[in-house]
Amino acid sequence: MQVNCIHNHNIVSVAVAVLRYTDKFLVAKRHMHQHQGGKWEFIGGKIDANESAKQALMREVNEEIGLSLNTDQLVFMGKVYHDYQDKKVYLYTYEVYLTKKQYHDFLYCQKGLENQALRWLDMDEMIAKVNQFPVANARIMDWIGLPNLLYISHAVDYFGDFDGFVNYYSNQLPKSAYFYCRPCVGTDDAIRLLTLLKSKRPDINFVVSWSVCQAAQDMMKVLGGVMVKLTCDELEYFSANFDKLPTDLPLWVGVHDKKEAMMANQLAKSHRIVAALISPVHKTKTHPKAHALGWQGFESLAKLCDMPSMALGGMTYFDMNCAKNHGAKGIAGIRGLILSHNSQHY
């Protein structure tokens, strides 16, 4: 994806490379005389007025550590805005998958070309050191941890009762799955279901509705790691009333058109938006009258979003590569998703 940068004298535009080999990430330590000195960071630098974010990233990585990259190694993740009070920044962030040779060339490299310390960290080590990174980098860590699949629940009625719902998902969801628990029952019942399922499967990364989050704020602290999905109406409300929403709450937002993409970007300037669910890519049984975006429509909206995008609506496992080719981080859905080899739509 080509990202064109808007150069604003009041905002510094920076290209950021998340350099990775499998689950290892190469980071550097900023010199003490620099802004945010002494912090670990993802390698990158300022975007000049005459270059794109990709061009700047490739130049900066080469200048800082002597690594030459190909453009096909760069996958656009998103754009982070942060106000440090003394400086405002836009971080144009790319995930960069290194080759085995590149990894081994830098495996034991402890210093960059500017004499900055280098280190390889895994995800757990980065999370443990999150306070040793610039604050804006925390959003990037959210994005790195995103899965290729978001599982969305059926309604309880599909299983007949609560036990059927809990037993099915506790037995069928893969380890550490991201799961949007949307049982289509009252808030109290939804909280009870969530609690039961969490007790059986503490490894699951839950996404819940805003209404459930509101009703169970104390429980959210106990459950830990719960994310919230905002509907398009909630997105519209909070983008105009952002002070009414906690800034540290991990959010997924539904995006169906350009207006909603712009609202998501506005909210992301002050809040922790993990990903956008762009839909419907294809027609679905649940929303047969909804206008399908198609892959070109999806890609157009994904390019507008400042955060990673997931494709939703009529997806099958066979759509994963196509989704990624059109700018998606991954796919999301309900029907047939757990059964990895069936071709049902979900």
pLDDT tens digits along 46-105: 999 999 999 999 999 999 999 999 999 999 999 999 988 888 999 999 999 999 999 999
Percent of the chain with pLDDT over 90: 73
Please report the pLDDT score of residue 169 as a whole number: 95
Q: How far is CA 77 from CA 1, 146, 257, in A?
A: 10, 11, 20
For the chain, give every domain's residue range.
11-137, 149-333
Packing angle, helices 258-268 and 294-304, rounded to 10: 30
For residues 296 and 328, the answer to whether their CB atoms sit within 8 Å is no
pLDDT less than 70: residues of the chain: 1-9, 218-225, 287, 336-346
Tokens standing for residue 339 = 């059964």
Identify the residue whose tokens are 């909070």. Answer: 238
Please report the pLDDT score of residue 33 as a whole number: 79
pLDDT tens digits along 214-228: 887 765 655 566 899
Please report the pLDDT score of residue 1 as a whole number: 46
Task: Give the CA count within 13 Å in the CB-facing half-sphere of 87.
Answer: 13
Strand pairing report for 11-21 and 24-29: antiparallel
Alpha carbon 230 to its chain's center: 15
- On whether the 149-333 domain is CATH 3.40.50.1970, my answer is no
Give the integer Cα–Cα distance in Å for 315 and 283.
10
- Number of separate helices (H) and strands (E) present in the chain: 12, 14
Give the integer Cα–Cα distance in Å for 111 and 288.
57
Please report the pLDDT score of residue 85 as a whole number: 84
Per-chain mean pLDDT for the chain: 90
Give the integer Cα–Cα distance in Å for 299 and 18.
22
- On whether the 11-137 domain is CATH 1.20.950.20, my answer is no
Q: How far is CA 290 from CA 184, 256, 279, 284, 313, in A?
A: 20, 10, 9, 8, 10
- pTM beyond 0.75: the answer is yes
Q: How far is CA 23 from CA 41, 81, 198, in A?
A: 17, 26, 26
For residues 150 and 229, the answer to whether their CB atoms sit within 8 Å is no
For residues 193 and 181, the answer to whether their CB atoms sit within 8 Å is yes
Please report the pLDDT score of residue 336 as a whole number: 55
Identify the residue whose tokens are 């962030």. Answer: 93
Please report the pLDDT score of residue 341 as a whole number: 36
